[in-house]
Structure 1
């Protein structure tokens, strides 16, 4: 069988393409600003003030858009909830007929009585 071919559909656009897109956007907005300045000199009335306002606002918005960065990747910032811990089960009561069953009382009745652990020293 052949190995799977890696997909490049999720790769970001090249830096040169991104820079040319941002430069083109900036130059278009600055060209509109030049047209607004020339128009403000030629016309009179409220249109002049609208063109002056556009000529003042356009450099700010053009720089913001040009410097906005390459990719607008969104990351999952939702909190991680840990899985629920398994429920604890109760130990069964010790039956009196089983000799190795632990006693239910808190203190052993005789010294050394209680749970016996087989241990072999090496």
Structure 2
């Protein structure tokens, strides 16, 4: 059996075809417009069949992030540890987003700004 990816055998950069499993996988490295591809199999007797499909790489949507309300407290010494009950948690419109922050292990005297990213 022979397998060919067409029309020119090129997939978007970062994707590859595993001919053993007939699977396209990988992580695309750039946005690409929709292009028609073909996948052809030919047996030893010359019989063949072709599957046509479209492939397009789109940019991921940006998620909106909502930071918690401002939190203020008077401290006469460094405060440690604080918990999310004290400074809150951020939320995102993308339920699969991983939200992180730069909360320090200890809050020194003065103002501390927490940055949230998703």
| TM-score grouping bracket, smaller chain normalisation | under 0.3
Structure with the largest fraction of helix: 1
Q: Which of the pair has more CA radius of gyration?
A: 1
The structure whose residues are more often strand, as a share, is 2
